[in-house]
Structure 1
Amino acid sequence: MNVVHDQQRTKTLLANLLKARFPYLYIQTWEEDRILSLIRSVAQDAGLIKTPREVLTWRMTTGIVDGNHQPKGDSKQPLKALEFIEKYDKPCIVVLQDFHVFFGGQGRAADLQVIRKLRDMLILIKQSAHPINVIFTSSALVLPEDLQKDVTIVDFELPSFEEIKAVLEQMIAINEQSGRIQIELGEEDKERLAQAALGLTLSEAENAFARAMVEDGKLDAQDVEVILEEKEQIVKKTSILEFVRSSLKMEDIGGLENLKRWLSKRNKSWLDSAKKYGLPAPKGVLITGVPGCGKSMISKSISSLWQLPLLRLDMARIFTGIVGGSESNMRKAIKTAEAISPCILWVDEIEKGFSGITSSGDSGTSARVFGQFLTWMQEKTKPVFVVATANNISELPPEMMRKGRFDEIFFVDLPTKRERKEILRVHFHKRIQDPEVLGEFQLTDEVLEDLVEKTEGFAGAEIEQLIVDALFEAFAENRSIRLEDFHKAIANTVSLSVTLAEQIRALRDWANVRAVTATPREDREGYDGKSSGAGRLFGDKGHDDVRLNRGGRAIDF
């Protein structure tokens, strides 16, 4: 999942547009210094452009100034500035900074005289004896309809991996001379820090590295967390995506070892070290299955495993009543995710956001938003790993499951005996740490076996809750925990395997040919044939097949 922006390609494109005498170019960027540096390097590069050109800049606070910051006449007013350009008799590139304020948008009225003047100048600029190009730069793309045929938009990407790593190397070199900060970074650590900073401007990346250095007097691999905090600021400025900070680790989740291994093998796959293997960038994974069995938990834990920011896309925030607003929100969400990549984009219960797209109740808005999302997933080149979870897979459109959207589809079933044992152990030690609460109770193998047998058919969330319920029993009587508390909690629980028997059976039927089981082969032992315990679980109502023939292809990773 490596992102490398070829700056030379951008320079070549810009040089070709200048040589072809495109009169008006528009570059949207926050990085004024970086784009000016690029424009100046192109303007003086004889290998790229035949006629070297002077670079002039305009701001409403300074008017037009040359490379030495010397003003060029009375040109603070936009019309005066355009008149100056019109009469200038030397080869030049004029960069108009924040000129978009005269183009309208965001509640402002467009300056019609300025727009008319720009249109009047077109022929004069094209036929001028000396090549003249005008480049608009601003943080927002605002273009009036009257100029849309005359202005060429040039994409200017955020800093590449190489540019950010160069900043990091420079800061390390400067520090090595002073020796005030302790540097504990190998080459892979430097690569990981630079990759983590992708999506930040050079200034933001430099600030993040500086903050990481001064917080504890050293710079090491753990400072990835500081970079992620800087990226969080980007997400906070949008109301669509949510930056999820999770302390969950893979070890905190019992079972699902097959899925865990699949994810572990793809760790660091966005680093340069993966390039020599010719690996494709992982697109994402779809996790479906029984509710309460760990889909959301494992989605959150990927962030800790891969040390990447986790963004949650709430489909309810995408849809709005404003015409075109939903499509705009989806574009904004995608752009934000790509801006802070490499990252993980988590779409929880994706079927709720895209169900019913064939209906005409919203004039096709849902279908258009769905199409945007699918096209992006198919064609995206930025390192955004999509993790989608679904409880009711039947509500998802078939296009979502087509090869190329996700790398793999995993099915999460009710936990097996081995998995229940691990879940019980994890949540027991997580919840019960005080010696007074523990008392004389010991979680021996015999106790575990007893609880595992009695929780057959329980989902992972139900197992966690029964520990909570048992603790409430002890808390209410102000005593330590007892085995009877767990037995009582189990007896009072009606598991999902009973209440959702038909839905679970349907999920397994679907997953048997379409998904890979998240449970490895060794943990499925005893669940591939008839069990004498099924009648007890399901009250002899004929639902024993719910816990047999578990869904998902038995592929181990």
Structure 2
Amino acid sequence: MRTKNNTTKLLANLLKARFPYLYFQTWEEDRALSVIRSVASNAELIKTTRNVITWRVTTGFQDQSGQKLGETKAPLKALEFIEQYDEPAIFILQDFHIYFGGQGKLPDYQVIRKLRDMLSNIKRSPNPKNIIFTSPYLILPDDLQKDITIVDFDLPTFEEIKNILDEMISVNKHSGRIVIDLSEEEKERLAKAALGLTLSEAENAFARAMVEDGRLDKNDVEVILEEKEQIIKKTGILEFISSDLDINSVGGLENLKRWLLKRNKSWLDSAAKFGLPAPKGVLITGVPGCGKSLISKSISSMWQLPLLRLDLGSIFSGIVGSSEENMRKAIKTAEAIAPSILWIDEIEKGFSGINNGGDSGTSSRIFGQFLTWMQEKTSPVFVIATANNISSLPPELMRKGRFDEIFFVDLPTKRERREILKVHLKKRLRNENVLGNFELNEEVIDLLADETEGFVGAEIEQLVIDALFEAFAEDRSIRLDDFLKAINNTVPLSITQSEQIRSIRDWANVRAVTATPKEDIKDYTKSLSPVGTSSDGDDIKFNRGGRTIDF
């Protein structure tokens, strides 16, 4: 991301070089005007200081004091005024894009012709003159594309947002009406959370956080994320996922959990000073229903970052060229509110058919666009991709440099099944009337864990629900028999999709890291296919997909 100083220096160089037409695409008119005016008045930057004169269709030209300069509301009159002006000046034309066409409107060809006629006059003027167009939208007529220079005017930097936060803290702390309870690291986290907002939006978010409970503390990150949710809703491509799941809501997968916990706070300045880059992301593959989506949602709460879900189906559109634009828009939005988490569920469904050529190469272009961004991105956007059928994904996606790691999630071990059972039983058996005489102890959990050999996490959750329905239908408290009946009535995926699971394991055996820690793998018994026997012929060995690397 370009820093404020770099933007100022670039603008100064363009003005000194007498670039005639510059274009700022921004929603922050006041901030853009402030930057332009600071450069225009700085003789060290541009040598010749210049008057800054603004134009709007509602007022015509006004000087910096707000004084009206003639009858110049009409665009041609405004351009004639610029031609005749004989002092060093920067003319800022606000929302002049309405004469450039776009959004189904025809351009004003007289205005465009006049701008082309003025080029030599502006370049050769004895006193330097520049025209800067400011607009929320980038609309350029073909006739002017070679003459207008686009200046990237990024959203506020971390330093700018931190300054706003410090000012608000200083003012409200001395007033005594607001309690400020923030360490320096928590201030940094709060300011980082506001990245992607305009200064006005960030100020509103901080103000809202203060007035809701009369204090400003680390918990107000959630308020900032709610403000960011508004940005996501307006794109129509990304979905903002609100999740109250924490990492303890996920049973098992301790290897993956430890990997994620170690990378918490990795987007903060303290990590950068330590020499650490922000992590790129993870690809999680494995057996359906084993918690891939669940852990994706829990990362948002653990890291206190916004979670954005990208539906690849919404990227592809029937209009030629719009699919590529949708992908650019999704990436730009994710980067604008960074640090953030971008979740792509079942990624194989979006990218599995890129080589069949059935869509005139659109899928291949989208895929290439995504790969390039994954490889070169510098914004702290953590990508979580989940896949059930990993073998259908293009090999380029799995190359090092795209994702930090590929994790394989297998059928849960007994130890993991115990954890999953505890999560769902404690979540649902909270009413005394439901429990009755049923005692939820370690022996019961151990028995149920044994009986659910080969069950995935989703099936374990469902059997708890089925058991509760059994008791509810008979208007009584829960019994152990209800759980055992639900287990006996379930045919698990490990049986119905045994061939697919074996195929996934074969792929992951040498290509992925197991999400289950090494010490848990011994818990596998009949849920895994035997691949041989020990030298004495007694102990059966079982194939465990994934390298057993501990984090």
In 2, Cα distance between equivalents of 1:243 and 1:526: 38
In 1, Cα distance between equivalents of 2:250 and 2:264: 18
**Misfit runs of 4+, over 6 Å:** 532-536
Q: Please point out which of 371, 374, 379 is paired with 1:377.
A: 374
Cα-to-partner distance string for 1:389-441 (whole Å, 9 max, x where unaligned): 00000111111001111011100000001000111111000011101111111
Residue 526 of structure 1, CA deviation: 3.7
Aligned to 1:149: 146
Aligned to 1:542: none
Residue 286 of structure 1, CA deviation: 0.5
Q: Please point out which of 391, 394, 398 is paired with 1:397.
A: 394
In 1, Cα distance between equivalents of 2:368 and 2:103: 28
Task: Letter of the 2:25 partner, please give it.
Answer: Q
Residue 470 of structure 1, CA deviation: 0.6
Q: Please point out which of 487, 490, 496 is paired with 1:490.
A: 487
1:312 and 2:321 aligned? no
Q: Please point out which of 471, 476, 484 is paired with 1:479.
A: 476
In 2, Cα distance between equivalents of 1:260 and 1:474: 35
Going from structure 1 to structure 2, the CA distance change for 1:482 and 1:99 (only over 3 Å counts) comes to same
Going from structure 1 to structure 2, the CA distance change for 1:533 and 1:19 (only over 3 Å counts) comes to closer
In 2, Cα distance between equivalents of 1:492 and 1:534: 21
Residue 342 of structure 1, CA deviation: 1.0
In 1, Cα distance between equivalents of 2:417 and 2:174: 56
Residue 177 of structure 1, CA deviation: 2.2
1:248 and 2:248 aligned? no
Cα-to-partner distance string for 1:194-234 (whole Å, 9 max, x where unaligned): 00000000000000000000011111110001000100000
Structure 2 matches for 1:258-273, cutoff 5 A?
258-273=255-270
Q: Please point out which of 153, 178, 187 is paired with 1:190.
A: 187
Cα-to-partner distance string for 1:352-384 (whole Å, 9 max, x where unaligned): 011110112110011111111111111111111
Structure 2 matches for 1:359-370, cutoff 5 A?
359-370=356-367
- More off after superposition, 64-73 vs 97-106: 64-73
Residue 452 of structure 1, CA deviation: 1.0
Going from structure 1 to structure 2, the CA distance change for 1:532 and 1:137 (only over 3 Å counts) comes to closer
In 2, Cα distance between equivalents of 1:62 and 1:196: 38
Aligned to 1:104: 101
Going from structure 1 to structure 2, the CA distance change for 1:535 and 1:340 (only over 3 Å counts) comes to closer
In 2, Cα distance between equivalents of 1:406 and 1:115: 47
Task: Letter of the 1:463 partner, please give it.
Answer: I
Residue 347 of structure 1, CA deviation: 0.3
In 1, Cα distance between equivalents of 2:526 and 2:380: 49
Q: Equivalent pairs: percent with the same residue?
A: 73
Residue 163 of structure 1, CA deviation: 0.3
Gaps of at least 5 residues in structure 2 are: 531-539
Q: Please point out which of 46, 71, 76 is paired with 1:74.
A: 71
Task: Letter of the 2:176 partner, please give it.
Answer: G
Aligned to 1:95: 92
In 2, Cα distance between equivalents of 1:212 and 1:248: 22
Give the match's secondary structure for 2:200. helix
1:549 and 2:543 aligned? yes
Corresponding residue pairs, total: 542
Residue 446 of structure 1, CA deviation: 1.6
In 2, Cα distance between equivalents of 1:395 and 1:34: 48
Aligned to 2:20: 23
In 2, Cα distance between equivalents of 1:209 and 1:320: 38
Q: Please point out which of 273, 284, 290 is paired with 1:276.
A: 273
1:446 and 2:446 aligned? no
Aligned to 1:543: none
In 2, Cα distance between equivalents of 1:369 and 1:136: 31
Aligned to 1:218: 215
Residue 548 of structure 1, CA deviation: 2.7
1:290 and 2:284 aligned? no
Give the match's secondary structure for 1:386. strand
Task: Letter of the 1:499 partner, please give it.
Answer: T
1:124 and 2:118 aligned? no
CA contact (8 A) 1:457 1:547 kept: no
1:228 and 2:225 aligned? yes
In 1, Cα distance between equivalents of 2:278 and 2:182: 25
Going from structure 1 to structure 2, the CA distance change for 1:84 and 1:412 (only over 3 Å counts) comes to same
- More off after superposition, 483-492 vs 440-449: 440-449
Residue 336 of structure 1, CA deviation: 1.1
Aligned to 2:323: 326
Residue 5 of structure 1, CA deviation: 4.3
Q: Please point out which of 8, 11, 33 is paired with 2:5.
A: 8
Cα-to-partner distance string for 1:73-99 (whole Å, 9 max, x where unaligned): 111111000001011100111111000
RMSD (CA atoms): 1.4
Going from structure 1 to structure 2, the CA distance change for 1:501 and 1:198 (only over 3 Å counts) comes to same
CA contact (8 A) 1:5 1:159 kept: no
Task: Letter of the 2:396 partner, please give it.
Answer: E
CA contact (8 A) 1:534 1:547 kept: no
In 2, Cα distance between equivalents of 1:533 and 1:514: 21
Structure 2 matches for 1:452-471, cutoff 5 A?
452-471=449-468
In 2, Cα distance between equivalents of 1:456 and 1:437: 26
1:433 and 2:427 aligned? no
Residue 158 of structure 1, CA deviation: 0.2
In 1, Cα distance between equivalents of 2:325 and 2:266: 31
In 1, Cα distance between equivalents of 2:387 and 2:328: 23
Structure 2 matches for 1:532-543, cutoff 5 A?
none
Give the match's secondary structure for 1:137. strand
Going from structure 1 to structure 2, the CA distance change for 1:452 and 1:371 (only over 3 Å counts) comes to same
Residue 532 of structure 1, CA deviation: 6.2
Residue 288 of structure 1, CA deviation: 0.4
Give the match's secondary structure for 1:243. strand
Aligned to 2:510: 513
In 1, Cα distance between equivalents of 2:48 and 2:522: 76
In 2, Cα distance between equivalents of 1:342 and 1:276: 17
Gaps of at least 5 residues in structure 1 are: 537-545
Aligned to 1:540: none
CA contact (8 A) 2:454 2:527 kept: no
In 2, Cα distance between equivalents of 1:70 and 1:446: 84
Residue 451 of structure 1, CA deviation: 0.9
Aligned to 1:38: 35
Residue 239 of structure 1, CA deviation: 1.3
Q: Please point out which of 155, 158, 173 is paired with 2:170.
A: 173
Give the match's secondary structure for 1:47. helix
In 2, Cα distance between equivalents of 1:522 and 1:184: 42
Residue 533 of structure 1, CA deviation: 7.5
Residue 535 of structure 1, CA deviation: 9.2
Q: Please point out which of 209, 213, 219 is paired with 2:206.
A: 209
Give the match's secondary structure for 2:27. coil
Give the match's secondary structure for 1:323. coil
CA contact (8 A) 1:5 1:161 kept: no
In 2, Cα distance between equivalents of 1:361 and 1:274: 45
